[in-house]
Copies of this chain bind each other. A is one copy, B any other.
Amino acid sequence: MKKLNIATIGYGFMGRTHSNAFAQVGHFFDVPYQPVLKTICARNAGRAKAFAAQWGYQSAESDWRRVVESKDIDLVDIASPNDTHAEIAIAAAKAGKMVMCEKPLGRNAAEAQAMVDAVESAGVANMVWYNYRRVPAVMLAKQIIDEGRLGKIFHYRAKFLQDWTISTDLPQGGEGLWRLDVAVAGSGVTGDLLAHCIDTAMWLNGGIAEVSAITETFIKSRKHNLTGKVEPVGIDDASLFLARFENGSLATFEATRYARGHKALYTLEINGENASIFWDLHDLHRLQYFDHRDEGRTRGWRSVHITDGDHPYMSHWWVTGLQIGYEHTFIHQAADFLTAAAEGKSAAPTFRDALATDQVTDAVLKSASTRQWTSVKSSKGGAA
């Protein structure tokens, strides 16, 4: 089988999920490439080397430019902080590499647009790791919706609730905490959490026409790990918005890191004329489905345990009744990318699809600062 040499940039949380995806995909999926963990690249050379040993990368690098230029590399996978995405992705595309990038694509739509231009000019296969599309339950929701079972859509609601930044003692910036540093992250929960909600929402329910948003930074200053000083916090701690989709349905979206009791509660619900769907990340192996066409007396929300062979991706795993977990979503995405790439194609969500999400998050932040309903600049990528 043809080998695909992969360089992963970044060994943090996402460096691990991506590495695991490449390590595992061939054990469970018949993919047209054999992924080879060629190079891990990260600024800290010592830790990169240790990561290489643990995951079986053949080499460790500390300068991503050398990686991007290396003729040994077929695919550059970007798992480093948000402020590095654009520069690396554009250079990798120019070097003719396939490019995968962790979400959000850019810190804003302008960065994302430049990245789209680069991969489309270069004609290289690309994909953004909005992994929650590949939760089997969410993929099943997509199938059900695409089959038209819901009928006309009236409502969509999504939220992503966490509680890990409530303590005032938590510093900002530096390894593990760059998500609190606006210069690195671009925004707070809007780009980190709402971006997931928006990507899934547009995939399931089409483009978002306009938004009215409010954001808040509950803790105004925190010690910065890089400077050692207490500095203003630039990110949004919470971000909520109302939306009207292009299909006329109404929506609420909310993300926060101040919802005590919720660790990573991403929930979505869609209500149609005939049927409704609910899903939440805390029980990701279940889909709640209500079909009004069921007989009246015995009609109810069905709790579907997504572990059967006829559920998306599940025939590749264990036996009926046995659940998979979080990291499997990345394995599924790697499988889909490798399959597409072997035919010279990108896999969804492509850079262009992900640009559409950045356009919505830009509109959300603009609406929050102007206190006005704000139209979303559409790149027509959202519904791909």
A residues adjacent to B (C-beta < 8 A)? 13, 16-17, 19-20, 23-24, 26-27, 54-55, 140, 143-144, 150, 154-155, 157, 159, 161-164, 166, 212-214, 216, 218, 238, 240-242, 244, 248, 250-252, 254, 256, 258-265, 271-276, 281-287, 289-292, 294, 296-305, 307-308, 310-311, 317-328, 371-373
A214 and B242 contact, CB distance less than 8 A: yes
Contact check: which of B26, B241, B271 meets A259 at CB < 8 Å?
B271
CB of B304 within 8 A of CB of A299, answer yes
Docked-complex contact B214 and A263, CB < 8 angstroms: no
Task: Report how far A287 CA is from B297 CA in the complex, Å.
Answer: 10
Contact A261 B301, CB 8 Å, known A242-B214, A373-B371: yes
- Are A297 and B320 closer than 8 Å at their CB atoms? no
**Copies of this chain:** 4
A55–B25 CA distance with the chains assembled, in angstroms: 11
Cβ 8 A contact of A321, one of B241, B265, B292: B265
Cross-chain contact A144 with B301 (CB below 8 angstroms):
no
| Chain B residues, Cβ within 8 Å of A322 | 264, 281, 325-326
Residue of B nearest to A140 (CB): B297
Complex interface: chain B residues within 8 A of A16 (CB): 318
Q: Which of B244, B271, B281, B319 is in CB contact (< 8 Å) with A258?
A: B271
Given A54-B27, A250-B216, decide whether A261 and B273 contact each other with a Cβ distance below 8 A. no
CB of B261 within 8 A of CB of A292, answer: yes
Cβ distance A17 to chain B, nearest Cβ, rounded Å: 7
Q: In the assembly, what is the distance between CA of A181 and CA of B265, in Å?
A: 39
Complex partner residue of A13 from B242, B275, B319, CB under 8 angstroms: B319
Residues of B within 8 A of A238 (CB): 154-155, 250
Give the interface centre of A272, A319, A326 by most chain B CB atoms within 10 Å.
Answer: A326
Q: Are A242's CB and B244's CB within 8 A?
A: no
Q: Are B264 and A271 in contact (CB under 8 A)?
A: no
Apart from A212-B214, A241-B242, A260-B273: 15 A-B pairs, beta carbons within 8 A: A13-B318, A154-B218, A154-B259, A155-B258, A260-B274, A263-B307, A281-B322, A284-B323, A297-B304, A300-B304, A322-B325, A323-B323, A323-B326, A324-B326, A371-B372
Partner of A240, one of B252, B283, B319: B252
Among A274, A301, A373, residue most surrounded by chain B Cβ atoms (within 10 Å):
A301
Chain B hits for A143, CB < 8 A: 297
Would you give the shortest CB distance from A60 to chain B, in whole angstroms?
16
Residues of B within 8 A of A54 (CB): 26-27
Q: Which residues of B contact A320 (CB under 8 A)?
A: 164, 263-264
CA distance A292 to B140 in the complex (A): 19
Q: Does the CB pair A254–B157 fall under 8 Å?
A: yes
Contacts of A307 in B (CB 8 A): 263-264
Does the CB pair B252–A254 fall under 8 Å? yes
Bound Cα distance A218, B271 (Å): 13
Complex contacts, A140 vs chain B, CB 8 Å = 297-298
Given the complex, which residues of B lie within 8 Å of A323, measured CB to CB?
A: 282-285, 323, 325-326
* Given A238-B154, A259-B155, A321-B265, also A300-B298 (CB < 8 A): no
Instruction: Report B-chain residues with C-beta under 8 Å of the C-beta of A27.
Output: 19-20, 23, 54-55
